[in-house]
Amino acid sequence: MSLQRFPGFIDAHVHLREPGATHKEDFYTGSRAAIAGGFTFVIDMPNNPIPTITKERLEEKINLAKKALCDVGFYFGTDGKNMNEFSKVWNLPQVFGLKVYCSHTTGDLLIEDEQTLKEIFSSWNSEKPILVHAEKDRLMMALKLAEKFSRRLHVCHISLKEEVEMVREVKQRGQKVTAGVTPHHLYFSRGPGIFLLKGYGEMKPPIGTKDDQKALWQALKDGTIDIVETDHAPHTKEEKEKDSPFFGVPGLETAVGLMFKAVKDGRITIADVLKYLNTNPRKIFNIPEQLDTFVELDSEKEYLVGKIGYETKCGWSPFEGMNFFGKPETVVFRGKKLLEGGKIIN
């Protein structure tokens, strides 16, 4: 077995659920999942039950995250009424952007009204990007507002061909837009596989068609999509087995293995993996260098997802039973070994 060394991977989109939903995940278990998955830097979303929309709430989160094994950054949230808080937080080193929910998903932060969106985009007067969950025509609106107010925009978890085309078009015109795609949108398409997953295959945005999936891989290759972000969104098995399952799937422990499977399948190169999971997110979110931090794995070595269980508190994966490649074997974080032989040793 020959181990290759990579810098710690970065996941710019996770929901570690603390405070308020620690039956699903918390900063400790979520960061264990991150380390087991080869991620040493993650950025947490603000859609907690009591959302991260005041400086006070943000400080509480920063404090709670001290128990994490890896570095955790944060996005500030907005309910459309907290614009006076923006300037109190945008210069904090722990804040990496503003998250705006333009389409319906987990949590209460949905902004439906265009006028309010306008005020939000106008008020976030920072070099740090605005991130949007914006599907279809909502994405078009976000792109226009970002252009109007000259804001950097990051399009989260892009999932449809039509969205890829919108982003490609504005990028070609020189607009400062970046986009991310999740491993599940890359791997699944609407069909028997995803239906078998039942509630475990329900997430926002929903899985697209084969055509959408093809467009996502193409966009990743041609640079329309800049990063792979897991959107690690743990919910309990009970919550996923309800008649109306909660939206979201965990992803921290499987993203790297899926990317090396894509290498094995000849879709992308090892250099691409580094770009999508380290250099590009580092550039987009201006993430500081992590000294003495690296991951080792054998990108040729196959493994069965779920065989040794999971670190995430939710304890399942939509990829369970699949064969991926390059499971992280070693993680050294700021000079300290946290993963050895694929197991956390903290």
Binding flags for Zn ion, 81-120, as an x/- string (CB under 5 A): ------------------------x---------------
With the CA atoms of 275, 128, 120 and 160 taken in that order, what torsion angle do they form, in degrees rounded to the nearest 10?
0
Q: Is 231 in the site for ligand NCD (CB under 6 A)?
A: yes
* Chain-centre distance for alpha carbon 331: 20
Q: How far is CA 58 from CA 47, 61, 78, 170, in A?
A: 12, 5, 12, 33
**Cis, peptide link before residue 51, omega less than 30° from 0:** no
The single residue among 203, 216, 228, 252 that binds ligand NCD, judged by CB under 6 A, is 203
- Name the minimum Å distance from CB 202 to ligand NCD: 7
| Spatial separation of the C-alpha atoms in residues 329 and 3, rounded to whole Å | 8
Contacts 24+ apart (CB under 8 A), 56-62: 58/89, 58/92, 58/94, 58/95, 60/19, 61/18, 61/19, 62/94
Of 156 and 273, which has the nearer Cβ to Zn ion?
156
Of 99 and 282, which has the nearer Cβ to Zn ion?
99
- Total residues contacting Zn ion (rule CB under 5 A)? 3
Q: Is the dihedral of CA 216, 219, 221, 223 positive or negative?
A: negative
The single residue among 57, 61, 133, 327 that binds ligand NCD, judged by CB under 6 A, is 133
The single residue among 10, 233, 256, 262 that binds ligand NCD, judged by CB under 6 A, is 233
Q: Is 154 in the site for ligand NCD (CB under 6 A)?
A: no
Of 106 and 330, which has the nearer Cβ to ligand NCD?
106
| Spatial separation of the C-alpha atoms in residues 317 and 315, rounded to whole Å | 7
Binding flags for ligand NCD, 162-191, as an x/- string (CB under 6 A): ------------------------------
Q: Is 133 in the site for Zn ion (CB under 5 A)?
A: yes
Of 188 and 247, which has the nearer Cβ to ligand NCD?
247
- Name the minimum Å distance from CB 110 to ligand NCD: 10
The single residue among 47, 82, 178, 224 that binds ligand NCD, judged by CB under 6 A, is 47
The single residue among 105, 159, 230, 254 that binds ligand NCD, judged by CB under 6 A, is 105
| Spatial separation of the C-alpha atoms in residues 154 and 147, rounded to whole Å | 12
* Chain-centre distance for alpha carbon 144: 23
Task: Point out which residues bind ligand NCD (CB under 6 A).
Answer: 15, 47, 105-106, 133, 203-204, 231, 233, 247-248
**Which residues sit at the interface with Zn ion, rule CB under 5 A?**
105, 133, 231
